[in-house]
Structure formats: structure tokens, C-alpha cells
Structure 1
Amino acid sequence: MVKREVLSSEGSLMVVKVQIKKGFEGDTDQHPEEQLSYIEKGQVEFEVSGKKNILSASETQYIPSNEKHRVRVIEDCVIIDIFTPIRQDLLK
């Protein structure tokens, strides 16, 4: 249901392509890295610190360091996530 591909992890930046199927509801996540999510395709609902925001293609969502967040997929989507610093847990 979720497919991740690390596109780049150089310097202090990481770019990850994420493909997620309609109906997916993620668990609440929290990490020290800042995150910027660009919606390449589809529609998703981000919940960041209790505030919900529906995003469509070409829109972005910023997630500050250590903020609780989750995603609900409304339409099959492709998201480009940018993290700083690099999320070491995604390199395993």
C-alpha cells in the first residue's frame, strides 16, 4: 500500500518518493527532521498538530521538527518528501 524510494540523500537533505493507495490511513508520526511534502499526484489529507488540511497535486505541506502528524489518502497519490537533516531510519 505504501512504496518508498529514496531519490537522494546528500549533505543535510533527503528526497523520498512515496506512492500510496487510496484509503490508506497512517499512524501518527513524529520525528526530529523537518519535512516538506509536495503532492505530485492525487489527493491527501494531512493532519499536523491536530489541524487538518486537504492537498491536491502541486500543493505542499510543511511539517516542523517534532510535530505530530498523520496522513489519510483520498486518491491514489505520489508524494515527494524532503527531509532535513537526513532521516537515517529511511536508509535501512
Structure 2
Amino acid sequence: MPFIHLSDIEEKELVPGFTVRFVHTESMTFSYWTVQPGAELPEHSHPHEQVTNMLEGEFRLTVDGESKVIRPGDVVHIPPNAAHGGKAVTECRILDVFHPVREDYRS
């Protein structure tokens, strides 16, 4: 299925204030997040390489102890096993791309 419309994918709330739609390919997972102002993502890590693309809003992201408010047009590379977390300053739309596939996000 090469053509996908995001509105056809069920939206899930994985963390309070973070709703997401997932698109999985053979080797990647794309996570389309909508984040409410003030919502917090607890610090965590995983074995997947992650690229965060800020689409709308402002989000304070911390990666391995370094914090920065990211805005539309900012792209952040999060290496495998790097500790990261953050908090939405405003309502946000974020695209995270993971490699390899996040099997834990398939269910």
C-alpha cells in the first residue's frame, strides 16, 4: 500500500497529552504526534535511531543532558540508547522517524 492518508489511521494516546498516528515500513516507523501544551515526555531511551522533525509549535527537548527549545524546521538526531525527554511549550506537531521499525508501536 504505497499511498496512505493519516486521517485513515487510528490515533492513540501513548503518554498523557501525546496523541500519535503510526506508519510502519519494512525498516522504519514514522510517528506523527500532536502534543498538548505542558505535556511532558519522561526521560527514556531505546535501541532505535531516531530523527525528530519539528513541524509546528515549540518543544523543550533534552538529549543526553543537553536541552534546547526546538521550533518548526528544526531536526534532531537522537542516537540509539541516548537518554531523551521533554515538555511541550505550546501545542506541537512532531514527526519522529525510527530505524529499525518500532515493533512495540505496532500494537
**Normalising to structure 2: TM-score of the pair?**
0.82
Alignment coverage as a number of residue pairs: 91
Matched-pair identity in %: 23
Whether 1:34 and 2:49 are equivalent positions in the alignment is yes
2:92 — aligned with what? Answer: 77
Higher RCO (CA-CA < 8 Å; seq separation 6+) = 1
Residue ranges of structure 1 left out of the alignment (5+ in a row): none
Return the match for 1:16 from 19, 23, 31.
31
Q: Structure 1-normalised TM-score? A: 0.94
Write the distance in 2 (CA, Å) between the matches of 1:86 and 1:32. 11
Distance in 1, Cα, partners of 2:76 & 2:87: 13
Q: Which segments of structure 1 move beyond 4 Å, counting only runs of 4 or more?
A: none
Q: Which structure shows the bigger proportion of residues in strand conformation?
A: 1
